[in-house]
Amino acid sequence: NCYIKASGAYTGEISPEMLHDVGAKWVILGHSERRSILKESDEFTAEKVVKALEAGLKVVLCIGELLEEREAGITQTVVNRQLDAVIKTVKEADWANIVIAYEPVWAIGTGKVATPDQAQEVHAAIRKYLETVVSAKVAEQTRITYGGSVNSGNCKVLAQQPDVDGFLVGGASLKLEFIDIINANN
């Protein structure tokens, strides 16, 4: 995570420039905990994306819906809204430095995971949306990863989905099974 200011009295926050100075290459922005616990809006997340890119960082942009939103059938409306805030603020060329991580909030750390069909459906819709509102090139070249209770038992079948370009792994990255996730496409 990072903040939107390069310096100042923002106790507890870290600037993109500081991350860059210490050698960080990537920053994760828009994670559900930041959105829900700290009430970070789509627009604030987009502002952070811009500042991170300006500082020379690459961005993992997390998007995803709550269980109530999935059950209400508005998953794509939610992820499109989250994407729209960023689309409005970045240039087409910036997408070369952004990876989208689709993380259904209801699956993060819960042991529940989207089925391969659910993940593929949302990933394909995200790619189509990027094609429609940004460009075909951005849609084709932007990596869209899946996060949300990825483990050694589900990674291979998720990795076989044509629009799942990898994973954003949480708790499983601290376990030996992480090796299986890394090698899911082998």
Name the residues annotated as catalytic: 31, 103
Rounded-to-integer distance, Cα 147 and Cα 94, Å: 22
Token pair, residue 157, equals 């079948």
Place of tokens 């200011």: 5
Direct distance between the N- and C-terminal alpha carbons of the chain, in angstroms, rounded to an integer:
31
For residue 103, which phi and psi values (nearest 5 degrees)? -130, 95
Helix (DSSP H) and strand (DSSP E) numbers for the chain: 9, 4
146 within 8 A of 123, measured Cβ to Cβ: yes
109 within 8 A of 169, measured Cβ to Cβ: no
Q: Report, in this order, helix, strand and coil percent for the chain, each rounded to 5.
A: 50, 10, 40
